[in-house]
Homo-oligomer: A and B are copies of this chain.
Amino acid sequence: MVARAKTEAKKEFFALLARRKMRLTSQRLAIVEAVFGTDQHFTAEQLLAWSRLRDPSVSRATVYRTLPLLVQNGFVQALNLGKEETVYDPNYVDHPSHSHIICTDCDEIVEFESEQLAEIESQIRKQLGFQVDSMTLQVTARCGEFRRLGFCQKRERCSHRDPS
C-alpha cells in the first residue's frame, strides 16, 4: 500500500526542482517514482536497481546525487543502523514520528509509533532550549519467536533470513 501522502510528495518534489531551477530529467523521474512507489526500506543499491527498471540509463552516481536531495528535504529518512550501508525509509512522509525496531533475531526492521517521542521533544525544547529538527529512535530487540520457531509469526517481515 502506497499512501496518498506519497503522491503528494512526488508533486512537491517536482515543485522543489522547479523552485531551484533544477531540471526534471528522465533519470530523476525514474528515481523518485521508484522511491515513492514503495513502502519498503531500501539501500542506494536497491534504489539503483528499481530505478533501472523504469529507466535503464540511470547510473549509480545519479542515485547517490539524488538521495541527499530527498533526504535533506524530508522526503525520505536516512537510517544509519550501524551496518555498512545506509538504509532509506520512504515512509517518513506518511508517518513523520515513527521509530524503528531492528530485530537482532532476524535483522528485519519493524516500525512503530509512540506519542512519548513528542513529549521528549517538548522536554528538549523547554528544558534545554533547543529547536528540534528531527528525532530518530532506534531500538535493537529480539522478537523471541524467531529463536523458538525459526520464524516470526508476529511480524511477517521477520521471516526472510536463515538462523545462523
Contact = CB atoms under 8 A, between A and B. Distances in A.
Contact of A154 (B81, B129, B133): B129
B144 A131 contact: yes
Interface in A91-107: 99, 101, 103-104
Interface string A141-164: 111110000000010000000000
A134 B139 contact: yes
A86 B152 CA distance: 31
A138 B135 contact: yes
Interface of A: 78, 80-82, 86, 99, 101, 103-104, 110, 112, 114, 116-117, 119-121, 123-124, 128-145, 154
Given A80-B81, A112-B128, A135-B138, 10 more contacts: A78-B82, A80-B80, A99-B120, A101-B128, A114-B120, A114-B123, A124-B139, A129-B143, A133-B140, A137-B137
